[in-house]
Amino acid sequence: ELKQSYEQAIESLVPQISIKDEDTGDVEILNSELLHSEDVTHKLENCGYSIGIRLSEVLIYKDSQNEILKNLELLNIMKFICRDVWRELYGKQMDNLRTNHRGTFVLIDNAFKTFQRFDSPVDLQDTIYKCKPYLWISSGIIRGVLKSFGVDSLITPEITKFPMVSFNIQTNV
Amino acid sequence: MNKGIKASSDDIWKNRVDKVNAELFTLTYGSVVAQLVRDFKNDYQKVNQQLEKMGYNIGIRLVEDFLAKTGTGRCQSFKDTAEVVSKVGFKVFLNVTPQVTNWTSDGKTFSLILDENPLAEFVELPDDERAKKELWYSNVLTGVLKGALEMVQLEVDVNFVSDVLRGDDRTELRLQLIRFLKDEMPAGED
């Protein structure tokens, strides 16, 4: 019930289409003041989430003998994300995994692949500002993969030192 | 000539193209379409339009990357263009080579048959009959072709006429040449 009312609340916040028509699919979109608006963030995160759920299925189907999957402890699921998911998506593993052993994890990628070619003509700060929405997709993917293992989570992505990114993950386990 | 094209685009695909994971690509496109369907509250005509528009904006910039990677020169005829679109364009960006076929006698309209469609991998359209009748799932391609060809002075009309996702036998894109555009100076320059 709580979830439903939450979703309704989000739904009512989300204007039907908040992006100007002429900006669709154009780089101008990056100058839109809506770039960091809640509904854009929410939609991107949701796209990631649905990718994550499906990707998880594909990966497990492709490699059902995966050692990691023989023991579905939370830490192992995180390792699955760091190793298998990340390698599949970005051709490299996550560089660092930290945990407080009480359900909070921090995953760090020292050179986030999506940002490889990103560079604003203005300055680094502008690059970082415009990169942020792309991070929500990956963040959503992680949430989706976790969900496919039955783990609910809250994820805060951060660009710590461009192109280094971190994902702060709080789980309910 | 065709053999030469094929060998060189194989080489470009292998050595000069940055690859992105195929599943990530397919699933991301899928979630974009799904989001559009939600945004437009299942108005599939609008989804088609929006996908085309997104494709158009991709196409007008993609052509620069295309020219930089392939160094393709000017085509001598629309027939050449068809070959290049299929054997070079589709090859270097999607690693597929659609068949070029069904030319009209005036040489202005042809079809691309997509035996493989990387966008539609793992995809099933929802069971509601309307989606199968109205949604052109891969419509972003029509926009990309339109945009890219417009940047090389070809105004074309591009449409899907059938799609295996809808239960058709094959996935077919129809391209029609409307006219050759004149080279125009960018606005504000003499």
Tell whether A147 lies on the interface with B, counting CB pairs under 8 A. Answer: no
**Is B155 part of the contact surface with chain A (CB cutoff 8 Å)?**
no
Tell me how close the Cα of B28 comes to any Cα of chain A, in angstroms.
Answer: 6
Q: Please name which of B60, B79, B69, B83 lies closest in space to residue B146, comparing C-alpha atoms.
A: B60
| C-alpha torsion A150→A155→A160→A164, nearest 10 | 30
What is the spatial distance between Cα A127 and Cα A115, in angstroms, rounded to a whole number? 9
Site from B31, B58, B146 to mutate, A interface, most A CB atoms within 10 angstroms: B31
The C-alpha atoms of residue B25 and residue A51 are separated, in whole angstroms, by 10
Cα(A53)–Cα(A147) distance, rounded to whole angstroms?
7
Return all residues near A12 (Cβ < 8 A) that are at least 6 apart.
Answer: none
Contact B55 A25 (CB under 8 A): yes
Please check whether the domain covering B2-180 is classified as CATH 3.40.50.300.
Answer: no
CA distances from A56 to A91, A149, B28, B95 (A): 16, 9, 14, 25
**The whole model's pTM is what?**
0.84
Distances (CA, A) of A142 to A40, A101, A147, B47: 18, 19, 8, 28
Supply the DSSP symbol for B153. Answer: T
Q: Does B53 touch chain A (CB under 8 A)?
A: yes
Decide if B23 and A88 are in contact by the 8 Å CB cutoff. Answer: yes
Residues B26 and B124: their CA atoms lie apart, in Å, by 13
Q: How far away is chain B from the Cα of A38, in angstroms, using its nearest Cα?
A: 15
Distance, C-alpha B87 to centroid of its chain: 12
Q: What is the ipTM, given to two decimal places?
A: 0.78
Per-residue tens of pLDDT for chain B, all 190 residues: 556 788 888 888 888 888 888 889 999 999 999 999 998 889 999 999 999 999 998 999 899 999 999 988 889 999 999 999 999 999 999 999 999 999 999 999 999 999 999 999 889 998 878 999 999 999 999 999 999 999 999 999 999 999 999 999 999 999 999 999 887 666 665 5
In Å, how far from its chain's centre is CA A31? 22
Q: What is the DSSP string of B27-82?
A: HHHHHHHHHHHHHTTT-HHHHHHHHHHHHHHHHHHHHHHHHHHH-----SSHHHHH
Q: Which residues contact A81 (CB under 8 A, 6 or more apart)?
A: A94, A107, A142, A145, A146
In which region does residue B41 sit, left (phi positive, over 0), alpha (psi from -120 to 50) or beta (all else)?
left
Q: Give pLDDT tens digits for B60-111.
A: 989 999 999 998 888 999 999 999 999 999 999 999 999 999 999 999 999 9
Query: Tens of pLDDT along A102-156?
Result: 999 999 999 999 998 888 888 999 999 999 999 999 999 999 999 999 999 999 9
A46 in contact with B, Cβ within 8 Å: yes
Q: At B98, list the tokens.
A: 């659609």
Buried-exposed string A123-147: b where 16+ CB fall within 10 A, e elsewhere: eeeebbbbbbbbbbbbbbbbbbbbe
Question: Nearest-CA distance from A102 to chain B in Å?
Answer: 31
Partner-chain contact A24 B50, CB within 8 Å = yes
For residue A88, the chain B residues in CB contact (below 8 A) are 21, 23-24
Would you call A58 and B23 a contact, using CB atoms and an 8 Å cutoff?
Answer: yes
